[in-house]
Amino acid sequence: MITLQTQLKNISKITPKYAAILEKMELRTVENFLLCFPFRYDDFSEIAEISTRNINKTVTVEGIVIKKKISRIFRRKMTIAEIIIEDENKIPLKAVWFNQPFVLESLPEGSSVRLSGKLTLKGKHLNMSAPSWERAGREATNTGCLVPIYSETKGITSKWIRWQIKPLLEMAKQMHDPIPYEIRARLNLYDIYTALVQIHFPDSKEKLLRAQKRFAFSEMLLIQLKTLQVKKQWEANSSLQIKFNEKLIKEFVEKLPFKLTGAQRKASFEILKDLEKPIPMNRLLNGDVGSGKTVVAAIASLQAASTGLQVAILAPTEVLARQHYLSLSELLKKHSLNVSLLTNSYREISADNPILKSKKTKRNELLSKIKSGEIDLVIGTHAIIQKDVIFKNLALIIIDEQHRFGVAQRAYLQQETMSVKDGLGKTIPHLLTMTATPIPRTLSIALFGSLEISLLDEMPKNRKEIITKIIPPKLRQEAYDFIQKQIESGRQVFIILPLVEDSRIMTEIKAATSEHQRLSEKVFPALNIGLLHGKLKSKEKEAVMQDFKDKKINILVATSVVEVGIDIPNASVIVIEDAERFGLSQLHQFRGRVGRGEHQSYCFLFTNSNTQKATERLQAMEDTNDGFEISQKDLLLRGPGQFFGTLQSGIPDIAMQNLTNVKLIKFARAEAQNILDLDPKLKKHPLLASALKKFQEKIHLE
């Protein structure tokens, strides 16, 4: 007897060859197979007669096979299978398949067949090229309906999957529904059996939508249960209470060479109030490029360090860690704090005026000073809370994830902060995560449900808007002439190249190197052009960036390595080659490399594409400099899977596709909160507890 737990290899219709392929797809049991959902549907639901009225429409027709033949083109190693069918109106239609001779074996003359595809006119004859087909006597599975399309792999087609899943759907009646009946009734959700039938073989678009929403809600409910549980678990810990020193912070803010924005003031206040609490802060500082996250981090660091406690700031790269070290040392130089930089390549310590007196030191000496508490602020990559670094009294960890740490890595780092080595024992540090990808509010609620969120959605007043222009091939020379004039007036330029995906054709480095050579020899022969790519060692990158900062380099040709936080106030132009190959959020990150000084800045989007989709996306960059607006547009155009990287987050596809559905997320959060209020350990909801356990094994969330 077949059950949900029956191994697919033990089902008679699934041969060992197919079972082995399914195993590689991590589909082992009937239950796994039934939960493997289609990723799209071909709409073959319109049943039509064979008629010239339906030319260029995608339709399903039915008729009798009156003729069939097979042809071979030997020089091209190709077979052409064709049949001619007629319906009751006796109008002939020719259907053609390439390299599928087996089709004719199943469709003898005189048999009834259903065909689904685009009806075209070739000469005077109606035609379908490579239509979906099945015998008319069969229940509609591949034609005449909304046909599910599954992820395929070599040796397994969507058609084969459909034929296997259809008879197994009966087993879904054995499946226990983790969503309680009262929630399903309240929200008008399908039970799990109905939802599974309708997601695999929908009776209509409306029923398909209901099935998708049911599974999206189910996944979102589990995400919200998990984040709320983690939040509760986090809040069960203790932290040191760091009293808000209003006089100290006020003096610091008044002496800054610029005025804080309202958003910076609000975020700083929220963080300082969190630091006063006996439970550890877990806050996300969500800001746009150039919105001033560093000074907010400096205020939090000063507050903690001024009471004799230690602070650690983690950056995703050594180059960015060093940049934070220099800028924070400068911001905090009047407060006699010992600031150190500790990475694999850098070991530096500073006091008083650190920019002038920064000195290199041995790793062991630096580790000893951190352990004794002589170092107030340690800046490095995330390795500093995982390796041999022991603190005396670490009270605050700031993670500048710069959108490079994925959800899973961030969750891992959060776990690490709970077990960081220091002399405090009974408390854990406060945690502040900063992100430079403006995240739309809906995604914040969905993915960061265990964090409090502070938004930096206001730019400093003295910032000039960056002028962005789409540059087609015919305007390229004009753009180069403009760049030449900018350099003659003392400015500098970034030229960014996309990652070349097909390494057999050209690697990223070769692309950057050849473009560097072309620009040096043919376009700007009189200028000094630098080169920066991901394979350079940290010291080499640092040397190139230092030369660029010192204005020894006029133009820097770089791969996407510059996306992360590089600060050159004198750079006024950024050129992005093949701009259509980047997501909008990434383009916005690149654009943020200029406009950091007093000069008017420009972003040129070089593109060879004139498709409507590419133009629409790039137009959004011309229309606005608001990162939150751009990320919302990116989300709508590309979908959240690509916005975040589905693999990076581990979120199931169906939940990922619904991350923009604010109403659904709010319902899921409210229901999750209700359940946990009444049943914190889910003892009264064993099916939900079991589903959550399985879910946690698949994904990682904060």
Whole-number mean pLDDT of the chain?
85
Query: Distance between CA atoms of 24 and 352, rounded to whole angstroms?
Result: 60
- How many Å apart are CA 113 and CA 130, to the nearest integer? 14
> Which of the listed ranges 381-385, 389-393, 637-641 does the model predict with the highest average pLDDT?
389-393
For the cut 70, the answer to whether the pLDDT of residue 311 exceeds it is yes
Question: Other CB atoms closer than 10 Å to residue 237's CB: what's the count?
Answer: 15
Q: 283 has which bridge partners?
A: 432, 452
Residue 267 has pLDDT above 50, yes or no: yes
Work out the average pLDDT over 674-684.
94
Q: Is 415 exposed, middle or buried (0-12, 13-18, 19+ CB in 10 A)?
A: exposed
**Secondary structure class of 452 (helix, strand, coil):** strand
Dist CA 349 CA 309 (whole Å): 17
pLDDT exceeds cutoff 90 at 407? no
Bridge partners of residue 529, in order along the sequence? 555
Confidence at residue 649, expressed as pLDDT on a 0 to 100 scale: 47
Radius of gyration over alpha carbons of the chain, in Å?
31
pLDDT for res 447: 66
Phi, psi of 178 (to 5 degrees): -70, -20
Query: Helix/strand/coil (H, E, C) string of 147-193?
Result: EEECCCECCECHHHHHHHHHHHHHHHHHCCCCCCHHHHHHHCCCCHH
Most confident range (mean pLDDT) of 396-400, 449-453, 662-666 is 396-400
Per-residue pLDDT band for 689 (boundaries 50, 70, 90) equals: very high
Residue 526 has pLDDT above 80, yes or no: yes
pLDDT at residue 414, as a whole number: 66
Q: What is the pLDDT of residue 660?
A: 64
Can you tell me the mean pLDDT for 648-664?
Answer: 65
Q: Tell me the backbone φ, ψ of residue 149, rounded to 5 degrees.
A: -115, 120
**Residues ≥6 apart with Cβ < 8 Å to 93:** 50, 61, 63, 84, 85, 86, 115, 119, 126, 127, 128
Sheet with 359-360: strands ordered across = 359-360, 347-350, 339-342, 377-381, 310-315, 394-400, 430-435, 282-287, 452-456
> CATH assignment of 467-628?
3.40.50.300
Position 169 scores a pLDDT of 94
CATH for the stretch 1-40+149-175: 1.10.150
Torsion region of 197: left, alpha or beta (phi above 0 gives left; psi -120 to 50 gives alpha): alpha
Check pLDDT > 80 for residue 514.
Answer: yes
281 falls in which pLDDT band (50, 70, 90)? very high
* Average pLDDT for 506-510: 57
Q: Considering only 221-225, 393-397, 567-571, which range has the smallest mean pLDDT?
A: 567-571
- Is residue 126 classed as helix, strand or coil in its secondary structure? strand
CB–CB of 41/146 below 8 Å?
yes
Q: Which residue has the higher pLDDT, 237 or 440?
A: 237
Every domain of the chain and the residues it spans: 1-40+149-175, 46-144, 176-236, 246-456, 467-628
Residue type, 45: S
- Distance separating alpha carbons of residues 493 and 60, to the nearest angstrom: 57
**Mean pLDDT value of segment 513-533:** 89
Whole-model pTM? 0.74
| Residue 327 to residues 294, 341, 545, 565, Cα–Cα distance (Å) | 8, 12, 15, 12
- The number of angstroms, rounded, from the C-alpha of 533 to the middle of its chain's C-alpha atoms is 22
pLDDT tens for each residue of 341-390:
998 877 887 755 444 345 567 888 888 999 999 999 999 987 787 678 88
What is residue 503's predicted lDDT score, i.e. its pLDDT?
Answer: 44
> How much is the average pLDDT of 236-255?
94
Distances (CA, A) of 429 to 92, 294, 386: 77, 19, 15
| Closest to 701 (Cα-Cα) out of 218, 227, 215, 220 | 227
Structure tokens at 391: 């603190």
- Tens of pLDDT, residues 91-112: 899 999 998 888 888 888 999 9
Instruction: Kindly tell me if the per-residue pLDDT of 436 is higher than 80.
Output: no
Q: For 547-571, what is the mean pLDDT?
A: 81
- Number of Cα atoms under 13 Å in the Cβ half of residue 438: 29
Highest mean pLDDT among 458-462, 555-559, 642-646 belongs to 555-559
* pLDDT tens-digit series, residues 470-479: 999 999 999 9
415: pLDDT strictly greater than 70:
no
CATH number of 46-144: 2.40.50.140
2.60.120.260, 2.70.170.10, 3.40.50.300, 3.30.428.10: CATH of 246-456: 3.40.50.300
Could you report the per-residue pLDDT of 445-472, keeping only the tens digit for each? 666 677 888 888 888 777 788 999 999 9
Model confidence at 614, pLDDT cuts 50, 70, 90, reads confident
Measured torsion, CA atoms of residues 669, 670, 673, 674, in degrees rounded to the nearest 10: -150
Residue for token digits 């960036």? 545
Give the model's pLDDT for residue 354: 45
Q: What is the pLDDT of residue 137?
A: 81
Q: How confident is the model at residue 600 (pLDDT cuts 50, 70, 90)?
A: very high
Summarize pLDDT for 125-162 with one digit per residue, the tens. 899 999 999 898 888 888 888 999 998 888 888 989 99
Q: Do domains 246-456 and 467-628 have the same CATH topology?
A: yes
Q: Exposed/middle/buried for 417, CB within 10 Å: 0-12, 13-18, 19+?
A: buried
State the DSSP code for 383: G
Residue 408 has pLDDT above 60, yes or no: no
pLDDT for the residue numbered 510: 66
